[in-house]
Chain A
Amino acid sequence: MIAALRKEFLLQWRTRAQAVAVFVFGATSLLLFSFAIGPNAAALRQHAAGFLWLGLLLSSTLTLSESFHAEMENRALEGLLLLPVSPRVLYYGKALANTVQLMLLGIALVPVMVVLYDAGTTRIPIVLLIIALGTAGISAPGTLYSAMTAQARAKQTLLPLLLFPLIVPVLLASVKATSLAILGDPMDQSSAWLALLVAFDGIYWSLCGLLFDRVVED
């Protein structure tokens, strides 16, 4: 498991130029979203959480589709499966790596959000927690579907098409929780949303891991 993770991080370190490009993509989308509202500072602040997560979601399609790219290119997938490591370990390694990658992206986008939408908050630990839970909820099914669509035609279109409906509950909960952190939470609703995120993470991480072997077997 550690070896699988090491391999993933090594791979990502080697392609870190891509990470910068994805960050720029994310930041640019945040900028573009603001044009949908116009210079209304109050409205921008209110929707900041939604924009952040939308930007993160769109960027995730870039990182996730790259996820199995290296393996498919060099047919390394079959090689990996021959090793005495179960596909499940491979899956969790990739999913974890994807989560970390998205988390770092999310954290990097927070200052962009603060600057563009005047959406600063002192509740930083909560925001970090939400980003961790939310990106985990995106990565688990995202990694599985990335493996699935890698074997199909038109993979660029299929991945978002399949993934986005599943992500809606996670997205909703993350946006709501982040919004409460930014705008204030008088009735302490965020614990309910956080609980929902934890529940989804639990369900997706276990279910997707279970199903991964069937997806990559030949």
Chain B
Amino acid sequence: MLANPRFPKLPYALMTLGVVCLLIGSYLGLFVAPPEHYMGEVQRIMYVHVPTAWNWMLAVLFTFGAAIAYLFTSDFKWDARVEAGLEVGALLGFLLCCQGAIWAKPTWGVWWDWDPRLTSTAVLLCSFAGILALRRFVDEPTKRAVLSSVATIIASVDLPIVYFSVRWWNSLHQMQSSPATVSSQFHLPLRLNAFGILFLMSGFIALRARIASQRLSSELAPPPQELVGELA
């Protein structure tokens, strides 16, 4: 049984809410919060970069969960969600690397560095892109679903590495931020943007899963008799 939306308008509501949060949060982060002591204005990039990072990791976790769910239930609605999670996860990962590079140039002097966190992030991003490519090359829906679920589970092994890399190795990247480490003036825009991207991302995943479901319905349904007659 493929997902039949019970609340058809929900993704749009989520996306609108997300955009509103992002607009307010970004305004606060850009114009209201004070500049940071060492990095000056450039530090404001944190208000998009950190929320993108948190939500990217959530997207990967979601896709991992959906992959396991598919392998256990063989229900195609989970495959639709895997497909959605892969695409949105790749999107956010790509965005994350771009933001990071823009922040890195003035602060580290280079666009990219091969330190553990960046390397493991790039690995996960490439893995997701690879699995999306894999899906294009397998025509049979069940096989495609099984293979991408398996590949997603293996790729997700990298996620804990991304998260803990700053702690395990002496990474160039900053340690993870938590409310304890970030002063309170920075909290509000950070949280608002984090929720903003969360809502936006959830809307994206829901809509993308819907597109996937519709395609899967047509792939799995038997062709109508008239068409078969025409093709023969």
A158 to chain B, nearest CB (A): 6
B residues in contact with A169, CB < 8 Å? 120, 123, 158, 161
Interface string of A184-208 (1 = CB under 8 A from B): 0000000000000000000110011
Could you tell me if A158 and B71 are in contact, using CB atoms closer than 8 angstroms?
no
Flag whether B126 is at the interface (Cβ < 8 A). Answer: yes
Q: Are B154 and A211 in contact (CB under 8 A)?
A: yes
Total A-B pairs, Cβ < 8 A = 69
Q: Which residues of A contact B151 (CB under 8 A)?
A: 145, 148, 162
Q: Which of A149, A208, A217 contacts B154 (CB 8 A)?
A: A208
The reply on A172 being an interface residue by CB < 8 A is yes
Complex interface bits, A153-175 against B, C-beta within 8 A gives 1, otherwise 0: 11000100110111011001000
A172 with B154: in contact, given A152-B137, A158-B134, A215-B147 (CB under 8 Å)?
no
- What residues on B are CB-neighbors of A162 within 8 Å? 127, 130-131, 133-134, 151
Interface residues on B, range: 20 to 34
Name the contact of A166 in the complex, choosing from B119, B123, B143 (C-beta under 8 A).
B123
Which B residues lie within 8 Å of A166 (CB)? 123, 127, 154-155, 158
Encode contact with A along B122-149: 1 for CB under 8 Å, 0 otherwise.
0110110011011001110001001101
* A75 at the B interface (CB under 8 A): no
A86 within 8 A of B: no
Residue A214 CB within 8 A of the other chain: yes
Contact of A161 among B119, B123, B130, B153 (CB under 8 A): B130
Distance, CA A99 to CA B60, complexed state (A)? 30
How far in angstroms is the closest Cβ of chain B from A49? Answer: 15
Is B216 part of the binding interface, using a Cβ–Cβ cutoff of 8 Å? no
- Cβ-defined contact, B133 with A161, below 8 A: yes
For residue A134, which residues in chain B have a CB less than 8 angstroms away from its CB? none
By a CB distance below 8 angstroms, the chain B residues around A214 are: 71, 146, 149-150
Closest to A211 in B: B150
Select from chain B the residue with minimum beta-carbon distance to A148.
Answer: B147
- Which one of A151, A154, A172, A217 lies within 8 Å of B119 (CB-CB)? A172
A151 touches B130 (CB 8 A): no
Chain A residues within an 8 Å CB radius of B154: 141, 144, 166, 204, 207-208, 211
Query: Could you name 22 residue pairs across A and B whose Cβ atoms are closer than 8 Å?
Result: A141-B154, A148-B147, A148-B150, A152-B137, A152-B138, A153-B138, A158-B130, A158-B133, A161-B133, A162-B130, A162-B134, A165-B126, A165-B155, A166-B127, A168-B119, A169-B120, A169-B123, A169-B158, A172-B119, A211-B150, A211-B154, A215-B147
